[in-house]
Structure 1
Amino acid sequence: MPIVTIQQFPRDLAQKRELARRVTEAFVEVYDLKPESVQVFFNEIDGEGWAKGGVMGCDRSPT
């Protein structure tokens, strides 16, 4: 049973539904699995949960 973990910034529920559907579809096609055997976990990180170049995400200026 594959377990897929996706780390990302928070996204809309509709986007996560679509991504989960497509990821599951890929495993079904490539590994010849039943869709029910594929689990997708979303780990959403906000600006206080990551840093880049030593600067916290919440302290970075928007680009």
Structure 2
Amino acid sequence: MRERFGSGSAAASRGELFPAAKRTGTAGAAPPRTEEHTMPIVTIQQGPRDIELKRELVARVTDAFVDSLKIPAEAVQVWIHEVPADSWGVAGKLTADK
């Protein structure tokens, strides 16, 4: 494991990798993560579905995050990755072969 800014430094004791960037706002430093800055990205992997079913799925997943995390719907992203039956296997067999 690499040493971080000397084992006796205050930054090292707090586990900071780039302490100067946090203190001074140095260019390239990421802003502190707060609840207002988090954006849930939900990825759903599934077989192909009708667009109406996907619309309902996206709406319900978004509603679940809005209700449970108390965030605006605009903060929620839902990505649907559709996998064709000939590219997905279950129990040692392609789902296309079932």
Q: Shorter-chain TM-score: what band? A: 0.7 to 0.9
TM-score for the superposition, normalised by structure 2: 0.57
What is the deviation of 1:45? Answer: 1.0
Higher strand share: 1
Which residue is 1:44 aligned to?
82
Which residue is 2:44 aligned to?
6
- Runs of 4 or more off by more than 6 Å in structure 1? none
Length, aligned pairs only: 60
Structure 2: tracts of 5 or more residues without a match:
1-38
What is the deviation of 1:53? Answer: 2.1
What is the deviation of 1:12? Answer: 0.6
Higher-Rg structure is: 2
Which residue is 2:22 aligned to?
none
Structure 1: tracts of 5 or more residues without a match:
none
Query: How far apart, in 2, do the equivalents of 1:5 and 1:24 lie?
Result: 12
TM-score for the superposition, normalised by structure 1: 0.86
- Pairwise CA RMSD: 1.0
What fraction of aligned residue pairs are identical, expressed as a percent?
A: 48
Higher relative contact order (CA closer than 8 Å, sequence separation 6+):
1
Q: Deviations over 1:8-63 (max 9, x none)?
A: 11111011001101110111111010100100000111111111222222222xxx
Query: How far apart, in 2, do the equivalents of 1:9 and 1:41 lie?
Result: 13
Query: How far apart, in 2, do the equivalents of 1:35 and 1:50 lie?
Result: 31
